[in-house]
Amino acid sequence: MARQIPQNVRMYNLFPRLVGRMENWSIHFDRIKEMGFEWIYINPFHYPGFSGSLYAPKDYYDFNPMFINPNSLVPPVRQMENMIEEAHKRGLKVVMDLVINHTAKDHPFVRIHPEWYKRDEKGEVKSPGAWDNGHWVEWGDLAEIDNENSPDRENLWKYWEDLVLYYTDKGFDGFRADAAYQVPSELWKRLIEVAHTKREDVVFFAESLGCTPQQTLTLAESGFDYIFNSSKWWNYRDPWLFEQYNQTRVICPSISFPESHDTMRLAMEMKNHLPAIKQRIQFTAFFSSGWMIPVGMEYGFRKKTDVVFTTPHDWEPVNYDLTSFITQINRIRQKYSLFGEETENIIISHDNMHNVLVMLKVSSDKKTKALVILNQDTFNMQKVNLGHLGQYFGPSLVSLEDLSPENPQSYVPGENYEYLLNPGEVRIIHWRA
C-alpha cells in the first residue's frame, strides 16, 4: 500500500527566538489550533556557535540556552518532549528544521572531522554564501559540509541518519530541510527512507526557493513530500509564477506564504494598509495546496524576525487582529478539498485585467472548480464583468457558492456575473459538478 502524503497542509511557523523557552511554547498552541492550523514548524533550537545564529548549529543534541529553563529539575530533552506532547494533545504536528548543509564554524567537527568540510583554495574551511544584488555575501560564522565528496562520506551520512532517527524517536512529525537543493539527492533519499523505517507518517518539507524545475524534480524524486513556492513575490501580472507552478505542481505539492521568518513583515511592507495585507494573505491562502504563516502575522507585527538578534522582548503589542479572518480562511481550506490539492490554475481574460485578477482553479478530476477574483487595486474600487459563469464551470450552475472569507453573497448571479470590488477585495466562487 502506497504511503499517504498529508493533504491541505496548514502550517504555523513558531519562531523560537521570539517566543523564548520551550516550556512556554504551549501558551501559543491553543491559538494556533483555534485558527485552524494543524502543523507547527519550529526553526533550529540547537546549541549555536559563536554568532548565536539559529542556523549555525554547534551541537545538534544540545539546546540553545534561550529555549530551556536552567532552573528546572526537568532535563532539557524532556522539556522538548513535553512541548511536543502538549502539541500532540491538541492535534498539532511538530516540524523541526534540519540543517545539514553546514554547521557553525566553531563546531567541534571542524577539529575532530576536518574531512567532513569543504575547503577553499588556501585549504581553509569554506563558508557558504549567496549572491545579493550582484555581490557575493559570505556567511563567515558557517562552515560548509562536504556531503557529496567527503573522503569519510559514509560516516558523515551515518551521523545525519542517527540525527534524523533520534529526533523522529523524540516525537517530531516532520522535518523542514534547510537549503535542500544544496544537499545531494542521494543523501536525502537515504535519510527519508531511514525515517520512514521508524515512522511512515514522518513528512519532509524542502526549502526549495530559487530551485529550477529540474532541481525541484530531483527533490521530489528524493522523497520530499512538499516544497515551498514563490507566490509571495508575484506582482499579479508577469507570467513567471504560473510557469513555475505548472511545471512543479505535477511533481510535488507546494506551500505558499504571505511572509516568512526571512522576509519583511507584511504590515511593514504594506505600511499597515489592511486592504493590501488581506489581499496578499488571501491570494497565498488559495493559490496552492499548502499554506503557512509565521507567528505574529495575525497581530500585524512589524519587526522582521532575526536569526541572531530577536528575543522575546521583541514581542509587539497587537497592531491589528486578524485571527478571525485567518480562522475563516482555514475553515474554507479545510472544508473544500479543492483548496487542499495542487490544481490547474488558469488566468481568465476579461475587460478589466489591468486591475482585477481572475484565476480559475480546476481540480484534478475536473469535478470542482473555483474562481478567485482579486482586486489588484488596494486603494480604489474596481468592476469585474465575467458574463455567464457557465463558460468557466459548466452548464449547470445550481452548486455555485460564494466562499469569500469576508461578506460572502448568499446568491451568486451565475447567468451574468458583475461585481464592484472594494479596494483589495477577494471573492471566491466555488462550483461542484
Q: Where are the domains of the chain?
A: 10-342, 345-432
Give me the CATH code for the 10-342 domain, please. 3.20.20.80
**What pLDDT, on the 0 to 100 scale, is given for residue 178?**
96
Q: Which residues contact 69 (CB under 8 A, 6 or more apart)?
A: 21, 23, 79
Interval 41-55 mean pLDDT: 99
Burial profile 409-428: b = 16 or more Cβ within 10 angstroms, e = fewer: eeebebeebebebbbbbbbb
pLDDT at 2 over 90: no
pLDDT at 326 over 70: yes
- What's the mean per-residue pLDDT of the chain? 97
**What pLDDT, on the 0 to 100 scale, is given for residue 410?**
96
Instruction: Pick the more confident residue, 383 or 213.
Output: 383
* 116-147 residue pLDDT tens: 999 999 999 999 988 777 888 889 999 999 99
Could you check whether 10-342 and 345-432 share the same CATH topology? no
Q: Which residues contact 141 (CB under 8 A, 6 or more apart)?
A: 49, 50, 51, 53, 56, 104, 105, 127
* 3-17 residue pLDDT tens: 889 999 999 999 999
Percent of the chain with pLDDT over 90: 93
Q: Domain 345-432, CATH 3.40.50.10540 — does that match?
A: no
* 136-192 residue pLDDT tens: 888 999 999 999 999 999 999 999 999 999 999 999 999 999 999 999 999 999 999
**What pLDDT, on the 0 to 100 scale, is given for residue 84?**
99
Interval 196-200 mean pLDDT: 96
Percent of the chain with pLDDT over 70: 100
**What pLDDT, on the 0 to 100 scale, is given for residue 291?**
99
Question: Distance (Å, rounded) from C-alpha 105 to C-alpha 360?
Answer: 49
pTM of the model: 0.97
**What pLDDT, on the 0 to 100 scale, is given for residue 336?**
98
Question: Distance (Å, rounded) from C-alpha 44 to C-alpha 55?
Answer: 6
Interval 97-114 mean pLDDT: 98
**Any idea which of 39-43, 132-136, 340-344 has the lowest mean pLDDT?**
132-136
**What pLDDT, on the 0 to 100 scale, is given for residue 134?**
81
At position 405, the amino acid (one-letter code) is P
68, 12, 70: which is closest to 42 by C-alpha?
Answer: 12
* 262-288 residue pLDDT tens: 999 999 999 999 999 999 999 999 999
- Work out the pLDDT band at 1, boundaries 50, 70, 90: low
Interval 314-341 mean pLDDT: 99
3-state secondary structure the chain: CCCCCCCCCEEEEECHHHHCCHHHHHHHHHHHHHCCCCEEEECCCEEECCCCCCCCEEEEEEECHHHCCCCCCCCHHHHHHHHHHHHHHCCCEEEEEECCCEEECCCCHHHHCHHHECECCCCCECCCEEEECCEEEECCCEEEECCCCCCCHHHHHHHHHHHHHHHHHCCCCEEEECCHHHCCHHHHHHHHHHHHHHCCCCEEEECCCCCCHHHHHHHHHHCCCEEECCHHHCCCCCCHHHHHHHHHCCCCCEEECCCCCCCCCHHHHCCCCHHHHHHHHHHHHCCCCEEEEECCHHHCCCCCCCCCCCCHHHCCCCCCCCHHHHHHHHHHHHHCHHHHCCCEEEECCCCCCCCEEEEEEECCCCCEEEEEEEECCCCCCEEEEEECCHHHHCCCCCCCEECCCCCCCCCCCCCCEEEEECCCCEEEEEEEC
